[in-house]
Structure 1
């Protein structure tokens, strides 16, 4: 009989791999949200490129490098996920907390640092960009808050007798 993913009895090693569950989710979250941003806002909607302070050709090259980064982070997170599952150490609530924390953190970094401080691109080039910025950053903050709540909830649990906690 196969073990249910995330079931406490089926994954007794999860306490020993608390940080690996978090980092696997975090990497996947950063990679996924970067991939989503690049695919939707750069390629499909054509709202901006990763680097808009140069020519369109340079913008396309920067998009390609950004896309490669997103895939490396996504695949790295999934390799860690598979290893956790193999070791019977996967804790889905903690992993999802890491996903939301990573995705929200990257999106907030993008919205504040890249859009406003560095000004390498805007979410969209329109008159009232503040509406887009607000939606972007509020969504990022919501992901961070929900992710942090999930992570804190998994911190409160105590490992059963005889199990290691990392």
Structure 2
């Protein structure tokens, strides 16, 4: 184990960015492109839908790059708190998923998970998965806060 102090907050932030970008990438690749269930903005033309997907993809890449950059900076100083890092990854991914399911789908009505007669099953599954990721992240974060091992940095 390294004697360098871990940067718990920095580890949490870096991997939260990465988690947001990762979940946005999974959403876009699987649901927007492979399954073609929707575009980020479905309330206009096909062209506007494709442009909105491109903007989502750009934001996702920025989040991945920012998270990766911050994580590399922590790694070079041997200041990564592994538990805080894992917590951030799950909190970021779950936060994105739940934000998308509640704000984008229901409040702003930018798009639905899937356009079917009964949306309830899709909405429940989508939001439950986001809540599960958040719960896992929160449990890891609580463990990290009380763990002496999280005070040590390393690679």
Question: How does the TM-score come out when normalised to structure 2?
Answer: 0.93
Are the counterparts in 1 of residues 39 and 53 from structure 2 also a CA contact under 8 Å? yes
The answer on 1:94 being equivalent to 2:84 is yes
Q: Which has the higher contact order (CA 8 A, sep 6+)?
A: 2
Find the counterpart in structure 2 of residue 3 from structure 1.
none
Alignment RMSD (CA, Å): 1.8
Give the Cα separation in 2 of the matches to 1:159 and 1:71. Answer: 32
* 1:96-148 alpha-carbon deviations (Å, 9 max, x no partner): 11010011011101001110111110000011211111111011001001101
Q: Which residue of 1 aligns with 2:74?
A: 84
Give the Cα separation in 1 of the matches to 2:115 and 2:3.
48
Identify which of 1, 12, 16 aligns with 2:4. Answer: 12
Give the structure-1-normalised TM-score.
0.87
**Structure 1 134/89 Cα, relative in aligned 2: closer, same or farther at 3 Å?**
same
Q: Are the equivalent residues in 2 in contact too, given 1:26–1:103 (CA < 8 A)?
A: yes
- Is 2:130 the counterpart of 1:140? yes
Higher radius of gyration, 1 or 2: 1
Q: In structure 2, which of residues 105, 116, 123 is the aligned counterpart of residue 126 of structure 1?
A: 116
The one of 19, 23, 31 aligned to 2:21: 31
Q: Distance in 2 between matches of 1:159 and 1:52?
A: 47
1: distance between equivalents of 2:29 and 2:3? 35
In structure 2, stretches of 5+ residues that fail to align are none
Distance in 1 between the 2:4 and 2:111 partners? Answer: 46
Distance 2:45 2:3 in 1: 52
Alignment: residue pair count: 152
Deviations 1:51-78 (A, max 9, x none): 0010000000000000000010011101
